[in-house]
Structure 1
Amino acid sequence: MTNTFGKGHHLHLIDGSAFIFRAYHALPPLTRKSDGLPIGAVSGFCNMLHRYVEGNTGPDAPTHVAVIFDKGSHTFRNDMYDLYKANRDAMPEDLRPQIPLTRRATEAFNIACKEKEGYEADDIIATLAVQARAAGGRCTIISSDKDLMQLVGDGVEMLDAMKNKRIDRDGVFEKFGVYPERVVDVQALAGDSVDNVPGAPGIGIKTAALLINEFGDLDALLERAAEIKQPKRRQTLIDHADQIRLSRRLVLLDEATPLDFTLEDLEVRTPDPDQLMPFLAEMEFRTLTKRIADQLKVEMPEINDTPANAPAAPEIADVPFDKAGYSQVDSAEALQGWIDQIYERGYVAVDTETTGLNEMTAELVGISLCVEPGTACYIPLIHKAAGSDDLFGSDDLAEGQMPLETALEMLKPVLEDESILKIGQNMKYDAKVFAQVGITVAPIDDTMLMSYAMHGGLHGHGMDALSERYLGHTPLPIKPLLGSGKSAITFDKVPLSEAVPYAAEDADVTLRLWQQFKPALHRAQVTKVYETLERPMVAVLADMERAGIKVDRDTLSRMSNAFSQKMAALEDEVYTLVGRKFNVGSPKQLGEILFDEMGLQGGKKGKTGAYATGADVLEDLATEHELPRRILDWRQLSKLKSTYTDALQDHINPDTGRVHTSYSIAGASTGRLASTDPNLQNIPIRSEEGRRIREAFVAEEGKTLVALDYSQIELRILAHIADIPALKTAFDDGQDIHAMTASEMFDVPLDEMTPEIRRQAKAINFGVIYGISGFGLARNLRIPRSEAQGFIDRYFERFPGIRAYMDDTKAFAKEHGYVETLFGRRIHTPNIGAKGPQAGFAARAAINAPIQGTAADVIRRAMIRMPAAIAELPAKMLLQVHDELLFEVDQGAQDALIEAARSVMESAADPVVHLDVKLTVDAGQGPNWAVAH
């Protein structure tokens, strides 16, 4: 017999809509694999419910709970005021089918799920909260909805679950400036644009609170409105008294909603596996299903997520991850058994373990193989015996390992066999490691790049993240094996008993990911992107990275010294301006000088109490003051010295005398490559000192560096995509595009163009591509914001196609959750529906992505074709920096290289895309990169 609700009982009321919309906007779009049904919001909702159920233990746990939903859009308030909620955005199409599934999810978790035709969820919550309070119990409303704050007090509180913040009477006062009993009065005056509650025109929350606190309540205020001193406010209240009273009725929650259930019916119930597990399996939530099955100690149900119309795919065995299936290969006979399996199967997942992350210097420690899920091996090669890392220890190898030469001799034919597919995760790394020992791995598949082709912009593509997301499995971590800090060891020191399960599991995970991703490429319609833009880049970049580029250490040292001297001179100038010495590199000391001592405007303190002195702050101040200008100059030199002239010397490989950067194919969602260790794509070229860094990149004796650079490729692509006749004509006629834009915008004939006007047009041309605001342009050009906004407005007037392109692209992104390049690369835009500052950023990113992404695809296509085009020439492709390719060529063969490379680059879009605007490539050559560019 259920106890009657009363003293000692604690009711939790969950605002279902808040959970749903939070889940929908916080997570990337997700569809059910078997049929494409949108389930992203359901997934997030279930995870929230699961965390809620798990977290509600202890003395404050609820005894009763319900999730409350809105039944429909029409309620008694619409009968009262037909414009109520009339301006609300339509529900997103991909959210609509998920709403009933969230009801089913609530019931599956064995939580009461309640709604009422003609009433809002808030009315049901109000009625239950009042009933709980009257019965002597407590009530916690799990929501941040301000409309519910009128209920707080006397045993009723709110909990903002997203911020884990409790809202009591004082919290309500902080929000509204009045206590809960007067919240309705304040809302009636202030109105609500979201719900289309009219209120009193021109009166906001703060003013409303002042008025209510002064007059006591809304009725007294309206009766005595004539006493208000401010004429406009007085007249507003007199003229709109009826509208304000209507607004009060609209915001006042109905605490007597007729319900067909009682508080006793809401008693907390434990989840029933027979209800919950089938629902989670039906939704195909592998990770959550497994987690809850383990917690409830029940068997995980089978999940069939193969599409009904899918092509036959490799069988994904539902085999648990178990290290019992991982073996150590310690003999030629054992390795031959694996090789036989590989030839029988036709593919193998391969992974390498090394002594470090730099493929050019790391040693190969061992190799993992896997041909079927759950069964994998590790071939240890140079693991050290225990104690060999002691101070007087030997370099003795651990027992149970094959000789390195024997293993490589046996594996080389397999890894180089054209009939055997080698599958890896970030295969470029493993390919370079094998290249160091004389093995050219081909052909390959790469699970990281498959994920990137399908999910670019949604999440990262590292193996651990993919395993958790798509296999529901957390791989063994590396950190416990290697340690951290000064006591960290390299993998060759890891005992074999620990190395084997870790390394073999990597190959197992990689194979399982491949079995999921390979058929999914076709369903996601990105097979062509993967096959033509992603996978072929592996071999091209591996060769470039291994080639490296010569860097002259003496040139860097001389520059470093010169930068030190310039910095010292700038410091003296700064000290003179300030009147004393201080640490120029200390943002805290600088902030105090600028804003406390000098009294400059615009000082803002952060959480630490120190003033912000970032580049944006100093650039604003630099328009009027000398000191911030000098600080900016000093910082630029300091960055160049530490990041380049000093750090680059440490990156010179002692064996090759060259710097070998590493390119990330899947780093940027748009398809742009990223460069690390060192980053050669961020060398600043706008300042004279920055350009000089490139002087240190030199050609070998008897060779020359040749640079080829696409001319204004993104503006050309914009002219094509947005169909701008004036821009197309200007490019076709070989005009100066920035001068032409300036002429169009400012009505200045080309023969009267000044450098200043052209500079402004150039800033707008490039700014528009990146969605620059009036504020940003004002900062770039150091002009008033209103003037900058005027420039942008005039730009859109003269080139209306650009505005149309932007609007169309944003609309497409909102409808589909992604945008596309001209070559079919999908760039997901999960934040396109966000609110607040994030919305502007997401919209700018969506607008820019097809342009930048298409440019990235063009240069990828050029790079992939380049090795064959220059194979007969004594030349090598060394670097890619955004729109530029850098080559090293024997002296005398420069012209032949330029002709061959330019032909490839200018025709790179063909035959897939025919651009309306011709691509042109500028070429230069010289003994160093600065001269060549």
Structure 2
Amino acid sequence: MVEGFGKGHHLHLIDGSAFIFRAYHALPPLTRRSDGLPIGAVAGFCNMLWKYIQDGNGSDAPTHAAVIFDHSAKTFRNDIYPLYKANRPELPEDLRPQFPLTREATRAFNIACIETEGYEADDIIATLSCQAREAGGRVTIISSDKDLMQLVGGGVEMLDPIKGKAIGPDEVREKFGVGPERVVDVQALAGDSVDNVPGAPGIGIKTAAQLIGEYGDLETLLARAEEIRQPKRRQTLIENAEQIRISKRLVQLDCATPLDFGFDTLSIREPEPGALLDFLTRMEFRTLTNRVAERFGAEAPPPPEAAPAQAEGAELPAIERSLYTIIRDEEALAEWLAEIAEKGVVAIDTETTGLDEMQAELVGVSLCTGPGRAAYLPLGHVDGAADLFGSGARAAGQMPMARALEMLKPVLEDAAVLKIGQNIKYDWKILARHGIRMAPIDDTMLLSYALNAGAHNHGMDELAREYLGHDCVPIKALIGSGKAQIGFAQVAIDKAGEYAAEDAEVTWRLWHHFRPKLAPNRVTTAYERLERPMVPVLAAMEMAGVRIDAEHLKRMSNAFAQKMAGLEDEIHGLAGESFNPGSPKQLGEILFDKMGLTGGKQGKTGAYSTSADVLEDLAAEGHDLPARVLDWRQLSKLKSTYTDALPTFVNPETGRVHTSYSIAGAQTGRLASTDPNLQNIPVRTEEGRRIREAFIAAPGMRLVSLDYSQIELRILAHVAAIPALKQAFREGIDIHAMTASQMFGVPVEGMDPMIRRRAKAINFGVIYGISGFGLARNLRIPRSEAQAFIDTYFERFPEIRAYMDSTVADAKENGFVRTLFGRRIMTPGINQSGPAAGGARRAAINAPIQGAAADIIRRAMIRMPEAISGLPATMLLQVHDELVFEVEEGAVDDLIAAARAVMEGAADPAVHLDVPLVVEAGQGASWAEAH
């Protein structure tokens, strides 16, 4: 007999992780009124525990109980198979801070709370179940997790907490086709895509059960695999025998998990009313607090007062800069840090010597904890007078930077203190270079973006005017402009303090304005799972940077210059005179005045338009001069934007190029890359593709590219519910050939490549609302013929027209559209008339498709760091539907497997797409080789 437990005893084991995730996904997002802390999952978890306690007083009541949690993502199974659970989604950002609160809740309910490092909750449940069964007692596992069904039998049963249904041997046999004692064998064969257990390719639960039923057990099956009649199944078992055995080790629960407690600690105990009510009151669960108080005959504590900014109808006092303080010594900083720790939330802003986060030096930090409660901590100001002589002497009245950062670090990394910033990725990187990794964080720019993408820009000055009615001090008022401009480090500390502290207070006020609006506008999920978690992911990518071959770029620049000179000679010959092809005015006069070409339109200045559209139309009509000018322009842009410019962006300390991604740059959720822009490198021309040759891997490393295949067409097939397209994607058919066959009635086999090209142009063009005029230009065919193609397309796929019409109607009614993942994209101008309305209509049609594609790759990027954490690999770049990694040569295949699993599963579980996501992978010494 196990000490403290034996015959007549009944143990309840609650799967805590299952409770948490069920509560999280079943309930709408909820935040604590006083400070915006996410508490939705905690609320659901507490209600489930309370229901459990209320229902647990019958004749079959437990004598012992415990809630079992997973300790961490990495367990001994990762040592067996590094890719175990590699495609599991990263923990939602709003769920992460709720996990420790659920442990606290369990203890508040006076129930044993158990977790063990290196082991999963299922292993602890298995160990306790085996020990209790051997001691002669009974066990009820409160969970519906299929992985626990191998434990059922011999006094152990399961209970589905939602359905209230008991799960015994018969129910296990109904699910797996075998009894509990053979569940592990079936799981080892079938594998598990959720946990990334490989199993035997092509064998599912039903087939696995048949095989185990026929051969008795897994080892016998593998030993006698040669006897299996079906050739493919026989070959699969023989070739994957070792993989199947590894899979069994992964799914087999460990009944010998080391535990450092006895069964007496699991004895049922009534909750201590004071401790439980205190916890529920702090969480602001008013209804449950009242229920518990009534149950125990206690008085419910008064709820905490709401912060002034969140009290209904409350107005904050006007911003008063004279209230700000300067933190000049350790004592003052310690007082501020104590206040921050007590309040649990602080707005923060950094002042630096420049805009490049990888090279800018820290000048100061501003903090705000409430209206008028803001301060500036100067750290790198120089003495203005002394600096005139280049001495760089520090101004008086500043703490030593190292000591100040040492004091700031614990608070800025404290999981119990929320750090708020405006474009906080910049501050995150600045502080990360000083060894501080801020978490958790909120970003007012991203809050605004989640609520109002497409409505306006999301810079702080604009947001302050729009939502606070406040004009911030302009930076030029401090540093001047032109030749007289100075650096922020040279600004007098008192003036700098007013400016910097104001930024922190404006950020605090914007947060209190935006945060409560997430739930009513149904964008909490989009913000918490698509916006906020991107900050540390992108910051890490940007700080990693990518190597470039400067000599290769120099050679390309010289080649481009020579080719441009040759084109200039050709252009001059076609024009009959010399002129600057880079001058729109001179080019317009040549084309429309001298050569008399049609289509010339003069603007208010009298100059002709020579935009790319104009030149492309002229080239399509067969005119050589505009075609050559387009070639010259393309080379000129490649030379100036990339081959000449990229080497100037190499960081002297790292020797790499560090781009910066804007999370809120595009209304559809696509990222924008700047300084340098690495997302718009042309890939349709040979010259453009060659620029990627200059992006290279470090010695001993390879670059790996993983790219979604036709993701926007796949999303269109799903959202517009187009049976033919969905079937083609499921079967892996050439989608453009299939479309051509549907449209033009020609067989797929032996199709004319030109016909396929036309179908491809329509497939991609329709996503962007292409017109007959635009398609005619792309295909260089008459407009009437192009329009006929489009008309035929909609006849063959009427679901697309229905999707477009319904999307536009929704946009007109609501003023916005949504993606599959809840992103809200405003559609200004949709109800106007004229040309602007046409553009707004096309944008509204495209936004849910392009936005969903952007959301999917964001979800993949957010999950990626954890998935590849055990590999010698780094995620470097994101270019629309492509991710680029740098990885040690020997780990390329492992990285591709792990990253592909994450990317292809990125839509689940939020959205179940009707078509598969497919990711194409490549690797090489350069980006060009990899993609």
Is the structural similarity TM-score above 0.5? yes
Query: 1:716: how far off?
Result: 0.3
Structure 2 counterpart of 1:737: 735
3-state SS of paired residue (1:834):
coil
Which amino acid in 2 is paired with 1:321?
I
Is 1:892 aligned with 2:885?
no
Structure 2 counterpart of 1:75: none
3-state SS of paired residue (1:477):
coil
Task: Using the TM superposition, name which of 781-790 and 597-606 deviates more.
Answer: 597-606
Structure 2 counterpart of 1:473: 470
- 5 Å-filtered alignment, 1:870-889, equals 870-889=868-887
Structure 2 counterpart of 1:862: 860
- 5 Å-filtered alignment, 1:139-538, equals 318-390=316-388, 392-538=389-535
Q: Judge conservation of contact 1:316–1:516 (CA < 8 Å) in 2.
A: no
3-state SS of paired residue (1:775):
helix
Task: Using the TM superposition, name which of 778-787 and 514-523 deviates more.
Answer: 514-523
CA distance in 2, matches of 1:636, 1:741: 32
Query: 1:486: how far off?
Result: 2.6
1:477-525 CA-to-partner distances (Å, cap 9, x unmatched) read 1111111223221110111121010000111111111112111111211
Q: Judge conservation of contact 1:720–1:728 (CA < 8 Å) in 2.
A: yes
CA distance in 2, matches of 1:357, 1:449: 19
Query: 1:893: how far off?
Result: 0.5
Q: Judge conservation of contact 1:778–1:788 (CA < 8 Å) in 2.
A: yes
Structure 1 counterpart of 2:916: 918
Structure 1 counterpart of 2:715: 717
3-state SS of paired residue (2:384):
coil
1:781-819 CA-to-partner distances (Å, cap 9, x unmatched) read 111111110000000000000000000000011111111
Query: 1:313: how far off?
Result: 5.7
3-state SS of paired residue (2:885):
strand
Which amino acid in 2 is paired with 1:685?
V
CA distance in 1, matches of 2:731, 2:788: 29
Query: 1:323: how far off?
Result: 1.3
Which amino acid in 1 is paired with 2:505?
D
3-state SS of paired residue (2:726):
helix
Structure 2 counterpart of 1:909: 907
Structure 2 counterpart of 1:656: 654
Structure 1 counterpart of 2:812: 814
Aligned residues: 624
CA RMSD of aligned residues (A): 1.5
3-state SS of paired residue (1:388):
helix
Structure 2 counterpart of 1:700: 698
2:572 counterpart (571, 575, 582): 575
Structure 2 counterpart of 1:273: none
Q: Judge conservation of contact 1:330–1:400 (CA < 8 Å) in 2.
A: yes
Query: 1:609: how far off?
Result: 1.3
CA distance in 2, matches of 1:902, 1:311: 45
Q: 1:524 to 1:693 in 2, by over 3 A?
A: same
CA distance in 2, matches of 1:311, 1:345: 14
CA distance in 1, matches of 2:491, 2:309: 43
CA distance in 2, matches of 1:436, 1:462: 24
List structure 1 segments (4+ residues) > 6 angstroms apart after TM superposition.
none
CA distance in 2, matches of 1:834, 1:907: 40
Is 1:551 aligned with 2:526?
no
Task: Using the TM superposition, name which of 627-636 and 600-609 deviates more.
Answer: 600-609
Which amino acid in 2 is paired with 1:450?
L
Q: 1:361 to 1:316 in 2, by over 3 A?
A: farther
Which amino acid in 2 is paired with 1:606?
G
Structure 1 counterpart of 2:833: 835
3-state SS of paired residue (1:911):
coil
Query: 1:389: how far off?
Result: 3.2
Query: 1:579: how far off?
Result: 2.4
In structure 1, the gaps of 5 or more residues are 1-307
Identity of counterpart residues, as a percentage? Answer: 68
Query: 1:317: how far off?
Result: 5.8
With normalisation by structure 2, the TM-score equals 0.66
Which amino acid in 1 is paired with 2:632?
W
With normalisation by structure 1, the TM-score equals 0.66
3-state SS of paired residue (1:607):
coil
Query: 1:580: how far off?
Result: 2.5
Query: 1:670: how far off?
Result: 0.8
CA distance in 1, matches of 2:602, 2:516: 53
Q: Judge conservation of contact 2:666–2:672 (CA < 8 Å) in 1.
A: yes
Structure 2 counterpart of 1:773: 771
Query: 1:621: how far off?
Result: 0.9
Q: 1:784 to 1:338 in 2, by over 3 A?
A: same
CA distance in 2, matches of 1:311, 1:438: 33
Structure 1 counterpart of 2:663: 665
1:419-456 CA-to-partner distances (Å, cap 9, x unmatched) read 11111111100000001111111111111111111111
Is 1:783 aligned with 2:781?
yes
CA distance in 1, matches of 2:541, 2:838: 38
1:271-317 CA-to-partner distances (Å, cap 9, x unmatched) read xxxxxxxxxxxxxxxxxxxxxxxxxxxxxxxxxxxxx9x99769966
Query: 1:398: how far off?
Result: 1.2
Q: Judge conservation of contact 2:309–2:315 (CA < 8 Å) in 1.
A: no
Q: Judge conservation of contact 1:316–1:512 (CA < 8 Å) in 2.
A: no
1:116-145 CA-to-partner distances (Å, cap 9, x unmatched) read xxxxxxxxxxxxxxxxxxxxxxxxxxxxxx
Query: 1:457: how far off?
Result: 1.3
Which amino acid in 1 is paired with 2:844?
A
Structure 1 counterpart of 2:252: none
Query: 1:613: how far off?
Result: 1.0
Structure 2 counterpart of 1:229: none
Task: Using the TM superposition, name which of 537-546 and 511-520 deviates more.
Answer: 511-520
Select the structure with the greater relative contact order (CA < 8 A; seq sep ≥ 6).
Answer: 2
Query: 1:328: how far off?
Result: 0.6
Query: 1:393: how far off?
Result: 3.5
CA distance in 2, matches of 1:542, 1:342: 25
1:225-279 CA-to-partner distances (Å, cap 9, x unmatched) read xxxxxxxxxxxxxxxxxxxxxxxxxxxxxxxxxxxxxxxxxxxxxxxxxxxxxxx
3-state SS of paired residue (1:367):
strand
Is 1:600 aligned with 2:597?
yes
Which amino acid in 1 is paired with 2:789?
F
CA distance in 1, matches of 2:785, 2:315: 64
CA distance in 1, matches of 2:670, 2:502: 31
Which amino acid in 1 is paired with 2:801?
R
2:745 counterpart (738, 744, 747): 747
Q: Judge conservation of contact 2:326–2:494 (CA < 8 Å) in 1.
A: no
In structure 2, the gaps of 5 or more residues are 1-305
Structure 2 counterpart of 1:56: none
Structure 2 counterpart of 1:825: 823
Q: 1:429 to 1:313 in 2, by over 3 A?
A: farther
Q: Judge conservation of contact 1:311–1:519 (CA < 8 Å) in 2.
A: no
Q: Judge conservation of contact 2:368–2:504 (CA < 8 Å) in 1.
A: yes
CA distance in 1, matches of 2:415, 2:626: 61
3-state SS of paired residue (1:751):
coil
CA distance in 2, matches of 1:565, 1:826: 49
3-state SS of paired residue (1:604):
coil
Structure 2 counterpart of 1:679: 677
Query: 1:832: how far off?
Result: 0.7
Q: Judge conservation of contact 2:450–2:527 (CA < 8 Å) in 1.
A: yes
Q: Judge conservation of contact 1:315–1:515 (CA < 8 Å) in 2.
A: no
Q: 1:675 to 1:898 in 2, by over 3 A?
A: same
Q: Judge conservation of contact 2:557–2:639 (CA < 8 Å) in 1.
A: yes
CA distance in 2, matches of 1:534, 1:346: 22
3-state SS of paired residue (1:556):
helix
CA distance in 2, matches of 1:428, 1:597: 54
Q: Judge conservation of contact 2:309–2:512 (CA < 8 Å) in 1.
A: no
Q: Judge conservation of contact 2:588–2:608 (CA < 8 Å) in 1.
A: yes
Structure 1 counterpart of 2:269: none
